[in-house]
A and B are shown apart, each in its own frame.
Chain A
């Protein structure tokens, strides 16, 4: 055990409700800044790597943020500490979007994954997977991507070329230890709404067994976060994804 001094001022007092009192009710503060305070957490599963760094990427409007919330919710329910970093707002209109998820049994981490340190990349769009790999990839990374292409404006205008799916596959082989390319959008379109692609991808992720998530965990999470009328269609999308792996 390394000798580390942690001086959180926790013995001090703060002013509350008209009088000074001990900071007992603020003891949760340490959870955010001090790993020692997170000892003894009960997790009902294990990570193959701690922390596991996951990047979910795609194009604005593909349901990236929702996918990251659902996945993170499942992992928090399993007892893990999850830190998500994302950007949304004007910056993402029609642009590339990325959510960084960091799953740990002990630490609150930086909401930005350092370069070269992604463990799993989930992409709703193929070149977005490549874009993420060139910045966050490493020889051990696993990639799961939707094959449906969304052409950037520069490709539509003819200023740039979009690589073929075969080229993408070859690049994955060079840049990732494992890769899966699935046509999640077609499945989602068959289910009636292309935006379900994100849930098909989450189902496929569960199918890869990279993370301790399964159908039950998904069911439990959407019961909290998705309106009841949409549970069945989401479960169907999840199952369809899981079968694609």
Chain B
């Protein structure tokens, strides 16, 4: 039995994302949709495992906007639904979100967005909390694992009460952290879907679901927000812990609550500093806020990335100045805390010790000295493509073709593991030159290709992964074809949404819960818009190289090369070697080869290492994935490969 279906009252260890999933189950959710993205993906993964038992429809949608539309339809039909994405996804979904928040909803609907302060698995640390304020919808932020479950459940109730969508925001240190959670009851009955639209446009439950008449509906939406604020005033999710008259009040939310609490304990300030933990962060519960702002004159707001909470609290405090008096605020705006990067207990300790004039405990000086001696002897461990990764071979192919061409072609990158080729250039042989949002590489390439008239006449390429292709590349590709952009567009098709854990996408013939689905062929789509298409195996260096060279020679049109090879970590491949790879010590010339150690210095596969004593290349068989590509790159043919019987 899945842990997610543990009986009521049992205490289990849940990852934050699992706690959110359990909360949704306890709320009786029927439809769940989303697009994979770290740190959000496990919410849908775990729910898809229990979909049959809990009568759920779970879908990995093509992108976040479509996912939100799928979830909204269920809400319109009176079901409870949830849509899950990472912070960037909210940008993609935001156009629909604006209209949805204006039209209102029916069955409880929750948008779960998991942010990544510090960009641990992102190429930005974008903030989505501001969408709640801008689009006038409630925002909830759990501050513990138990709360992640309970607050998710309550979010559905709140949404149904105000008939509008509710945003629940998590962060990496909540979503990907784990803690004890006591389970609640799972509902015994399931709802049936009914969509009624025979009433007047002003009838929220029987009329057509539209955002018009705009001014009236907008006013109505603002009233809903006021209702939410009223509920927040008394919500058990907002709490104060600390002395009756603290010298300093910390106002915080999310994982920062745990950092703040630990920092207070580390400095022994329990009797001097209080914490107001807000889990309902927009709209602010102003009466509650007033009650605690009155306790003291000094306030520190602890939150990650931008000063969202701080700004809102300051604005609210201005409005109640007469009653609460002047305050001194500490936070991002006065640089007490950084507004870039994630926080941790030490950062809060540093800020607190400065304000409270106490000294944090430190390590013995002799120990610090030893650390300083050891630290420089530790070799750094930079990220790299895994052994057997098809991207290493693909970029080898692209880079070699560009070098042979000699015109310094430009390659635009996109979002996936292959983005590492632009973040840490030596990983992808210094091949990729731009990296932005999903699908942007192809749009940028389409633009670069039009700059020849202005003197930038170079081969233009774009790379994207298979999941990214469906997500956001298709409009850019149609743009390129229609506007006769001369680009070589390369799909790095590794058979799944690999970076986030192999979630299926429209090119895979099964659903989130493993049911068969028709797959949509990338090559057919590209041929359908009139592009010239070729398919190759990136591990076939010779064949792929020939196609690339011929594509670059062909001017004035869109060419598509699909490089198909499953990710080395994919379930069907993991642990299975295609080749047994060895270095023939007699043939390897080591440092005397003249290749400048192409295999270990340039190709950079972690399984291809260097024997310092023999001064020759050697394969680490524990790590080697058996792709056999290094066999093709050794100029001395010293690397041998033997096919392993499957």
Task: Name A's B-contacting residues (CB within 8 A).
Answer: 2-10, 12-17, 23, 25-26, 28-29, 31-34, 59-61, 69, 72-73, 76, 81-96, 108-112, 114-116, 127-128, 130-131, 133-134, 137-139, 148, 150-158, 160-163, 167, 171, 174-175, 185, 189, 193-194, 224
Contact = CB atoms under 8 A, between A and B. Distances in A.
User: Which residue, B121, B177, B420, has most C-beta atoms of chain A within 10 A?
Assistant: B177
A4 B382 contact: no
B239 A33 contact: yes
Interface stretch (B368-376, B397-405, B536-544): B368-376
Contacts of A33: 143-144, 147, 239, 241, 257, 277
Interface in B250-264: 255, 257-259, 261-262
Given A15-B158, A156-B606, A156-B609, A5 B243 contact: yes
A152 B179 CA distance: 32
Contact of B179 (A83, A131, A174): A83
A71 B259 CA distance: 23
Contact of B380 (A84, A154, A189): A154
B377 interface: yes
A150 B379 CA distance: 11
Contacts of B386: 60-61, 93-94
30 contacts: A2-B270, A9-B235, A9-B236, A17-B157, A29-B236, A31-B146, A32-B144, A32-B179, A33-B257, A34-B241, A59-B381, A61-B386, A81-B180, A82-B180, A85-B173, A87-B121, A87-B172, A88-B121, A90-B38, A90-B121, A93-B417, A94-B383, A95-B384, A114-B345, A115-B346, A127-B379, A134-B374, A153-B606, A158-B600, A175-B374
A155 B380 CA distance: 9
B337 interface: no
A31 B174 CA distance: 16
Contact of B239 (A6, A15, A109, A130): A6
B396 interface: no
Contacts of B419: 90
Given A33-B144, A93-B385, A111 B255 contact: yes
A2 B270 CA distance: 8
A24 B344 CA distance: 33
B interface, over-half SS: mixed
Interface in B111-159: 120-121, 143-147, 150, 154, 157-158
Interface in B290-345: 344-345
Contacts, number: 267
B535 interface: no
A164 to B, nearest CB: 11
User: Which residue, A17, A88, A224, has most C-beta atoms of chain B within 10 A?
Assistant: A88
A92 B417 CA distance: 10
Contacts of B270: 2, 4
B377 A150 contact: no
Nearest to B41: A89
A98 to B, nearest CB: 11
Contacts of A151: 606, 609, 620
B147 A150 contact: no
B622 A185 contact: yes
Contacts of B161: 15
A84 B179 contact: yes
B258 A108 contact: yes
Interface in B354-395: 362-364, 367, 370-371, 373-375, 377-386
A87 B176 contact: yes
A14 B345 contact: no
B182 A82 contact: no
Interface of B: 3, 11-13, 38-39, 120-121, 143-147, 150, 154, 157-158, 161, 172-174, 176-180, 182, 184, 231, 234-244, 255, 257-259, 261-262, 266, 270-271, 274, 277, 288, 344-346, 349, 362-364, 367, 370-371, 373-375, 377-386, 417, 419-420, 499-500, 569, 575, 597, 600-601, 604, 606, 608-610, 620, 622-623
Contacts of A6: 239-241
Contact of A89 (B236, B255, B374, B499): B499
A28 to B, nearest CB: 5
A224 B364 CA distance: 43
Contacts of A111: 173-174, 177, 179, 255, 258
Nearest to A111: B177
A148 B158 CA distance: 53
A91 B125 CA distance: 14
Contacts of A87: 120-121, 172, 176
Closest A-B pairs by Cβ, 9 of them? A32-B144, A89-B38, A111-B177, A89-B121, A32-B146, A12-B234, A160-B379, A94-B384, A152-B381
A112 B370 contact: no
Contacts of B240: 5-7
Given A25-B184, A89-B500, A157-B604, A171 B377 contact: yes
A69 B147 CA distance: 21
B538 to A, nearest CB: 17
